[in-house]
Amino acid sequence: MKTVSEHRSFGGVQGVYSHTSEATGTEMTFGLFLPELAEDGPVPLLWYLSGLTCTHENAMVKAGAQAWAASEGIALIFPDTSPRGEGVADDEAYDLGQGAGFYVDATEDPWAEHYQMWDYVAEELPALIEGTFPVDPLRQGITGHSMGGHGALTLAMGLPGRFRSVSAFAPICNPSQSEWGRKQLTAYLGADEAAWAKHDATLMMKSRGFDGPMLIDTGTSDQFGDLLKTEALAEAIAVRRQSATLRLQKGYDHSYFFVSTFMEDHIGFHAEALYG
């Protein structure tokens, strides 16, 4: 593992690191924020999964999360959204290929060789982090934005017992019924929709739910609102009687101005679960 950079931030350290990933077969870069409290021993870890076109860097510099993570004593990890580099399959569209991994393990050519983002985020990166940094694997939460909200919800429901709490900002809620989903799931996983089910938060809510608290914020002025299919997940949450808070935030759009506004609430929400 290589240290790309480290900056003092809110009394802790915002680092960027890279490593050769077995899952993706590429060099992968991630950001990790350790609060000052981590100097005294392992702290809880909150995963932040980013959206389409993002790298590890966007949320790290734009979400304002370190302020609240520092005061709550929580570490933050910001993985990349796909494998990258020469020789890695890509597409001209912004929503397929590099920057758009959708947190799945691709089975179809040309994606299968490197696009193993579920494996990377669910298995390889946690093992690397837990062996290297003072974070407590028994106290993990997960959140994300847009495609990353989809990732947070599907990982939380797909890995029972792993995360104590899950939240999301403007998540893609029902990708198997959305233009933000059908194209990508077909490309990565093939046309058989049975393989998509574990990567659809609404279907996972119907079949499994989440054993812990859930918080979702989405803006009423989200310019991609029709693609998110928030209504499908809302219904599934209500049908299941899932412990959850779903908030439609008046006037907010899909940007990081929205994400940063509610970051304090989300980190407070996770802190309650991780320190409760």
The residues that touch a copy of itself, with contacts defined as CB under 8 A, are 7-11, 14, 61-62, 64, 66-67, 219, 221, 251-253, 255-258, 260-261, 264
Dihedral of CA atoms 59, 101, 77, 220 in degrees, nearest 10, equals: 40
CB 109 → a copy of itself: shortest distance, Å? Answer: 38
CB 263 → a copy of itself: shortest distance, Å? Answer: 9
CB 260 → a copy of itself: shortest distance, Å? Answer: 7
Closest to a copy of itself by CB, 99 or 219: 219
What DSSP string describes 35-62?
Answer: -GGGGGS-EEEEEEE--TT--SHHHHHH
The sign of the CA dihedral 235, 238, 240, 245 is positive
- Answer for the pair 208, 160: CB distance below 8 angstroms, yes or no: yes
Closest to a copy of itself by CB, 103 or 252: 252
Closest to a copy of itself by CB, 107 or 261: 261
Contacts of 87 (CB under 8 A, 6+ apart): none
Nearest to 38 by CA among 129, 143, 164: 129
Instruction: List, by residue number, the catalytic residues.
Output: 146, 222, 254
CA distance 141 to 48: 9
CA distance 61 to 105: 28
- Locate 178 and state its tokens: 């959305």
CB 253 → a copy of itself: shortest distance, Å? Answer: 6
- Locate 59 and state its tokens: 């949320």
Closest to a copy of itself by CB, 32 or 156: 32
